[in-house]
Amino acid sequence: MLPPLVVVDRLTKRFGEATAVDGISFAVAPGEIFGFLGPNGAGKTTTIKILTGLLRPTSGRATVGGFDITTHPVEAKRLFGYVPDEPALYPKLTAVEFLNFIGDIYEMKTAHKQARIRELLALFELDADAGGLLESFSHGMRQKVALCAALLHEPKIYFLDEPTVGLDPKSARLLKDIVRALTRAGGAVMMSTHIMEIAESLCDRVAIIDHGRIAALGTVAQLRELRGRDTLEEVFLHLTGGFEDRRIADIFREPARA
């Protein structure tokens, strides 16, 4: 069995008195789509920012491709692609200029870089707009450029933070197909999402995080069975304190009749 491509060991992150991530542990194997689910403020984005080297952990350890992200950040960063929850692009560059810049950061050979840029822009139907400034792009178009940037250097590991936000249904389906192809080729994908249907249909395993702690971890079938629920959404709401039917009924009850 191949070793995991992502390992998180007792990872903790505090901001002053607040604990955003509280001693979590998990691993992501080659060929696996790992869903990372949780309500707003649960610690999803903080965890991904630690794994991508944007934040330093308070304690614990995280390795990416065998490299500690804190002590060997450059070596680790060469091995992954990252799509943040908000596309981080340079507005005064065109899509082509931005992707060339990303390719140069990863020291891609010019001919291969140019071929990959053309291929990815065509795949996401951005080739007709590739010469326009990124500041003129819609949110969905910027998201697709961010996806192109993450895929450009053909890494084995991908961190996707709410990657379908802003995408139209066709592009969201394309992303699902790409993710499946990446893992069939031996890559690993860690993806946070609020869309339970995507997690249920796409992910091999999911971790549900709440208040900085892992509340559940396993396949969708395992979580449904262990929690006695019919759907992943019901498991999620049960673990994270979703609204109950009676509370909704109280709020939206019919007015009393005279």
* Domain spans in the chain, listed from the N-terminal domain onward: 1-79+155-218, 88-154
Strand partners, 188: 157
CB atoms near residue 230 (< 10 Å): 9
- Give me the amino acid identity at 53: G
CA distances from 98 to 69, 78, 108, 148, 154 (A): 25, 18, 14, 10, 17
Q: What is the pLDDT of residue 254?
A: 60
- In whole angstroms, what is the distance from residue 80 CA to residue 188 CA? 9
Contact 63/7 with Cβ under 8 angstroms?
A: yes
Name the residue among 88, 51, 89, 86 with its Cα closest to residue 70: 51
DSSP states of 66-82 as a string?
TEETTTSHHHHHTTEEE
Q: What is the pTM of this model?
A: 0.90
Q: Pick out the chain residues at pLDDT < 70.
A: 242-258
The per-residue pLDDT for 230 is 80
What CATH fold (topology level) applies to the domain 1-79+155-218? Rossmann fold (3.40.50)
**pLDDT at 256 (0 to 100):** 58
pLDDT of residue 228: 78
The answer to whether 147 touches 84, Cβ cutoff 8 Å, is: no
- The whole-number pLDDT of residue 244 equals 55
pLDDT number for residue 133: 97
